[in-house]
Amino acid sequence: MKYVDEFRDAELARALGVQIAALTEPGRHYKIMEVCGGHTHTIYKHGIEAHLPENVELVHGPGCPVCVIPMGRVDDGIAIARNPEVIFTCFGDMMRVPGGNGSFLDAKADGADIRFVYSPLDALKMAVANPDRQVVFYAIGFETTAPSTALTLMRAKAEGITNFSVMCNHVTIVPPLKALLDSPDLRLDAFIGPGHVSTVVGARPYEFICEDYNTPIVVAGFEPLDLLQSILMIMQQLNEGRAEVENQYGRVVPFEGNLRALEVLQEVFELRPYFEWRGLGFISQSALKLSEAYADFDAELRYATPGVRVADPKACQCGEVLKGVIKPYECKVFGTACTPETPIGTCMVSSEGACAAYYNFGRFAKSAARADA
């Protein structure tokens, strides 16, 4: 198809790189954060940085839902999973995330009935098929994923399924962005806005970034040329002294978001007063819990959870990576003690994590660049 070929066109990528370079001021260093793990993946996989001038730096953000789960929440999940009547379910990506005392995979090897599911609806179906067991779904994800958990709970309630509950770890996209903007150790010139989460929340929630922090944000698609075009739109804004929400991914993201998804979120969830993010610490009103109307389905109310806070391992610098303060390869254990096979930190576990993406694709380009230097 012509459309696909256009998006893949290396000539266009080079031309965009030239246009971006022409808009940079010599002597100024630009830091642009891509919030979404999917974007990080594309950037490394397709060598986007090779098309950018040296003074335009891409900084990886906290938009990987697996990466931001703190160790204590894994431990709490394992505590629930160890109840003999429980079938504990989670997405496959969560299985290897290390807690303070091993991962879900370790707990499974140790006898807990932990199963991965593709969808929360598969977990609900498991509850129907196992009426003498309790099925718990370990819910993670930003607003992209939370509506799926919400609709699953609405169905469980409508069908009167009582042996199903959810341990809710859903997080929201705006509070961590605000925390990053307020962070003294990071100065960002602009954001590349996340694509899929914005199909749900729309582009409007980002307006404060422009109004309160005078910082541009461009919601971007996932093609290499989408990202380059978004960076060009950002550079145009910076050059003209504008700070606006722009939507490069308009072909998928409506400015107002998905109204039905927002409605079901409102019905099933309420904001937690605060929630711990791996590496970012506690952020107020940054996560969801089940609302009063769905309290019967709240696994944290059904089961005792230790709720302890476990500090990240000393050697692990996921926190700094998630905040964009350091690059994956600047972490002390990157690629040595911490690899996708034996991850110490979450950023190395998920394929969307900056460390895993860099380990799989970027390090080759980097070592080649170093050899040239």
Partner 1 sequence: MCLAIPGQILEFIDPVNQIAKVDVGGVRRNVNVGLLAKEEGGIHLGDWVLIHVGFALSKVDEEEAAATLKLLRGLGEAFEDEIEQLKTSNIT
Pairing of strands 134-141, 86-90: parallel
Choice between 35 and 238, CB closer to partner 1: 35
Does residue 258 bind partner 1 (CB under 8 A)? yes
With binding defined as CB under 8 A, does residue 247 bind partner 1?
A: no
Total residues interacting with partner 1, rule: CB under 8 A = 48
Shortest Å distance, C-beta 83 to partner 1: 24
Binders of partner 1 among residues 287 to 346 (CB under 8 A) are none
- The verdict on 373 binding partner 1 (CB under 8 A) reads no
206 by DSSP, 3-state: which?
A: helix
**Which residues, in sequence order, are CB contacts of 245 under 8 Å at separation 6+?**
193, 203, 204, 206, 207, 209, 210, 217, 218, 219
Task: Give me the torsion for CA of 176, 182, 187, 191, rounded to 10°.
Answer: 40
Element (H, E) at 165: strand 164-170
Helices 146-158 & 259-268, crossing angle to 10 degrees? Answer: 60
Q: Are 312 and 72 in contact (CB under 8 A)?
A: no
- Sorted by sequence, the CB contacts under 8 Å of residue 343 that are 6+ apart come out as 96, 97, 98, 349, 356
Nearer to partner 1, 35 or 210 (CB): 35
Stretch that binds partner 1, among 95-103, 177-185, 260-268, 302-310 (CB under 8 A): 260-268
- Can residue 259 be called a binding residue for partner 1 (CB under 8 A)? yes
Question: Does 117 help bind partner 1 (rule: CB under 8 A)?
Answer: yes
Binding of residue 113 to partner 1 (CB under 8 A): no
Query: Phi then psi for 107, rounded to 5 degrees?
Result: -65, -35
99 binds partner 1 (CB under 8 A): no
Q: Which is nearer to partner 1, 1 or 371 (CB)?
A: 1
Query: Measured from the CB of residue 200, what is the shortest distance to partner 1 in angstroms?
Result: 7
Find out whether 99 and 130 touch, Cβ atoms under 8 Å.
Answer: no
**Binding residue for partner 1 (CB under 8 A) from 30, 88, 91, 138?**
91
Q: Provide the binding-site residues for partner 1, judged by CB under 8 A.
A: 1, 3-4, 7-8, 37-38, 41-42, 45, 64-66, 91-93, 116-122, 125, 140-141, 144-145, 147-148, 151, 155, 196, 199-200, 222-223, 251-252, 254, 258-261, 264, 350-352
